[in-house]
Amino acid sequence: MLSERQYAYRARAKYAKLISTLKEHRKEPMVLMNARRWEEIKYSSVPGTCLKLYSPAFAKHDPQRFADFLTNAQRKAGTAKSGSLQPHELMRTATVGSAPRRTVAESQWKSMIREVKKHAKFRSCIAVCDTSSAMMSTSAMDVPGRRSRPKSVRPSTPGRFEHAPAARGPLRCRDI
């Protein structure tokens, strides 16, 4: 008879094997990257966070296909997935990231704007963002051991750029 510990170990091992088979079948980017099968990666189906994090690796190991993807993504007004990325994350990447990351962030931003315009029902609204010195506090987001502590103003600033173009009527593209 197996102890609870042995059973848990075997169950985890079986689960890991099942998941790795499923990931291989789904052609997930991390599996393909680890196997050095760069030519099999479909960049249009890569999740937004993965695209943001690994764009330098894509540019290094599969330069032609990744450059083609970026060109198409920019031409088609943002076909790069933005998924769970927040506007302030994209803005930070676009301003301080490497060249491939900036290009990806720009395409993801366009994709995010397109999605907001498609689903939002802003009629008469105006984007408001407080950038006063009170918003420069870091106390709410202090994390020990972190080199760059984000300011409270960073998450609020891109929100106005995201929502202002989606508004309709006389207040379209207006912000305070």
| pLDDT tens digit sequence for 7-45 | 999 999 999 989 888 888 778 888 888 889 999 998 888
Residues 102, 111: Cα–Cα separation, whole Å: 14
What is the structure's pLDDT at 35?
87
Q: Structure tokens of 6?
A: 């042995």
Which uninterrupted H or E stretch holds 51?
helix 48-61
Q: How far apart are CA 27 and CA 105, in angstroms?
A: 23
For the cut 70, the answer to whether the pLDDT of residue 134 exceeds it is no
- As given in the structure block, the two tokens for residue 41 are 């990666």
3-state secondary structure of 4: helix
CA 86 – CA 13 distance, rounded (Å): 35
pLDDT at residue 166, as a whole number: 64
Indicate the pLDDT class of residue 108, thresholds 50, 70 and 90: confident
In this structure, what token pair is assigned to residue 104? 């990806």
How far is 174 from 128, CA to CA, in rounded Å? 9
The band of 156, judged by pLDDT with boundaries at 50, 70 and 90, is: low
Give the whole-number percent of the chain exceeding pLDDT 70: 67
In contact, 34 and 23? CB cutoff 8 Å: no
Mean pLDDT of all residues in 154-175: 62
41-53 pLDDT, tens digit per residue, is 988 888 888 888 8
Residue 99 above 90 pLDDT? no
More confident: 139 or 170:
170
Beta bridge partners of 127: 175
> Can you say whether residue 41 is alpha, beta or left, with left for phi > 0 and alpha for psi between -120 and 50 degrees?
beta
